[in-house]
């Protein structure tokens, strides 16, 4: 986490999000091309971030004017990737190295959940790759 650099905009988004929801955001990634902001939420704060019937997250989306995606942080890569691809049911996670010594993560999901895990145009798997690289120096995530 110490090597993660936030832009001024991302710091403002975190402050605004925390004020609107009461949840603590450990990290924020703003992706203008996707028109989305990914917040990494402190473990246990997901309910607070979403709010009763989604009221907090909806308030934040309206106020910020962008799509907001939430991921609950986990200390270990297996649980973190499960949180990233949720609600897809993860059956197995395997971390290996390729011939170039790059770290690879293979995530096996329930076959009926594969579309959810990958996401429209690969958005979810791209989010998984981004976050796993950022937090655990994993070079690639493959959904099986």
pLDDT of 140 above 70? yes
CB atoms within 10 A of CB 3: 7
Give the pLDDT of residue 2: 53
Nearest CA to 111 out of 131, 126, 95, 89 is that of 89
Pair 143, 114: CB distance under 8 Å? yes
pLDDT of 137 above 90? yes
User: Hey, what's the torsion of the CAs at 42, 46, 47, 53, to 10 degrees?
Assistant: 150
Task: Name the band, by pLDDT with cuts 50, 70 and 90, for residue 62.
Answer: very high
pLDDT of 84 above 60? yes
pLDDT of 65 above 60? yes
Q: Please, what is the end-to-end C-alpha distance for the chain in angstroms?
A: 28
Give the pLDDT of residue 34: 84
Domains plus CATH for the chain? Answer: 8-72 (3.30.300.20), 88-143 (3.30.300.20)
Task: Name the band, by pLDDT with cuts 50, 70 and 90, for residue 4.
Answer: confident
In this prediction the pTM is 0.92
9-44 residue pLDDT tens: 999 999 999 999 999 999 999 999 888 999 999 999
User: Across all residues in the chain, what is the average pLDDT?
Assistant: 94
């Amino acid at each position: 986490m110490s090597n993660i650099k936030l832009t001024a905009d991302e710091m403002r988004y975190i402050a605004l999000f925390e004020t609107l929801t009461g949840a603590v955001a450990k990290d924020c990634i703003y992706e203008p091309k996707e028109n989305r902001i990914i917040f990494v939420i402190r473990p246990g704060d997901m309910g607070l971030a979403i709010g009763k019937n989604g009221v907090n997250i909806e308030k934040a989306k309206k106020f910020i004017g962008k799509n907001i995606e939430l991921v609950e942080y986990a200390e270990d890569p297996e649980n973190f990737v499960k949180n990233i691809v949720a609600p897809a049911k993860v059956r197995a996670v395997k971390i290996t190295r390729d011939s170039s010594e790059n770290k690879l993560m293979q995530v096996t999901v329930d076959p009926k959940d594969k579309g959810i895990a990958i996401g429209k145009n690969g958005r979810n798997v791209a989010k998984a790759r981004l976050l796993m690289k950022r937090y655990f120096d994993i070079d690639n995530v493959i959904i099986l």
